[in-house]
Amino acid sequence: MRQCLWTLVAAGMTLSGCGPFAPERFPETGAAYRMQLADSLEREGKFQSAALQYASVAEEFPRSSFYPPAVRRAALLYSISPFSARNDSAAYRWYVAYLSLPMKKPERENVRVSVELLHRILRLHAQIEQISAAGDSLTVLTKRQSASLNADSRRLQELDLQLQNAQAELRKIKEIDLRLSKSRIR
């Protein structure tokens, strides 16, 4: 009974990561488990979760044999179109990390092309944001100028009406003045 209890406690500690077989003590085991988890998430179509798992394997187990495939899968999943929360800067980061690993020349050229394309995409995103911000500023300025022009137009109409009234009054005064002049002359 006591041996069964100790076995249960040891199993619980191992599963919770506290025992003598914890992933920190055997990084290959921990990395293998996380890679299997990431692979299953990818097969289920949960690309965002899979990419996060691959990235965490690469970050937490950089010296394991699973590092190169984890970096490669993280880069790919962050850059593929079915990935709903696409993140080009993360893809760029992981492709640059993957480029530092040993690989065959054709694959290295493909990765370099991917890195260059992602770099261009990131620059284009930055330019689009700048243009959008400039467009927003122009929209605000246009609205302000439109409001100012409307106010000036209303003021001009008011002044035109006042001028017409003043001209009508002036004509009346001239008529009265002409009548008075004529009456004096007679």
User: What pLDDT is recorded for position 84?
Assistant: 45
In a domain, 185, yes or no: no
In a domain, 172, yes or no: no
Q: What is the pLDDT of residue 18?
A: 52
Q: Quick one: pLDDT band at residue 59, thresholds 50, 70, 90?
A: very high
**In contact, 116 and 97? CB cutoff 8 Å:** no
Nearest to 50 by CA among 35, 60, 67: 35
Q: Does residue 181 sit within a domain?
A: no
pTM: 0.57
Find the range with the poorest average confidence among 52-56, 68-72, 92-96, 182-186.
182-186
Mean pLDDT for the stretch of residues 96-102 = 89
In a domain, 134, yes or no: yes
Handedness of CA 132, 133, 134, 136 (dihedral sign): positive
**Per-residue pLDDT for 2 more than 80?**
no
Q: Is the pLDDT of residue 66 over 90?
A: yes
Q: Which of 67, 69, 34 is nearest to 53 (CA)?
A: 34
**Domain-located, residue 162:** no
**Overall average pLDDT of the 126-145 stretch:** 88
Is residue 26 assigned to a domain? yes
Query: pLDDT by residue (tens digit) across 156-165?
Result: 899 889 989 9
CATH for 46: 1.25.40
Q: Per-residue confidence at 4, pLDDT binned at 50, 70, 90? A: very low
For residue 147, is it within any domain? yes
Q: What is the pLDDT of residue 81?
A: 56
In sequence order, what are the residues at sequence separation of 6 or more whose Cβ sits closer than 8 angstroms to the Cβ of residue 56?
A: 34
The helix, strand and coil proportions of the chain, stated in percent and rounded to the nearest 5, come to 80, 0, 20
pLDDT at 60: 93
The tally of domains found in the chain comes to 1
Of 23 and 180, the one with more pLDDT: 180
Residue 157 within any structural domain of the chain: no
List the domain range (segments joined by +) for residue 15: 2-152
pLDDT at 68: 93
Is 56 exposed, middle or buried (CB count within 10 Å of its CB: 0-12, 13-18, 19+)? middle
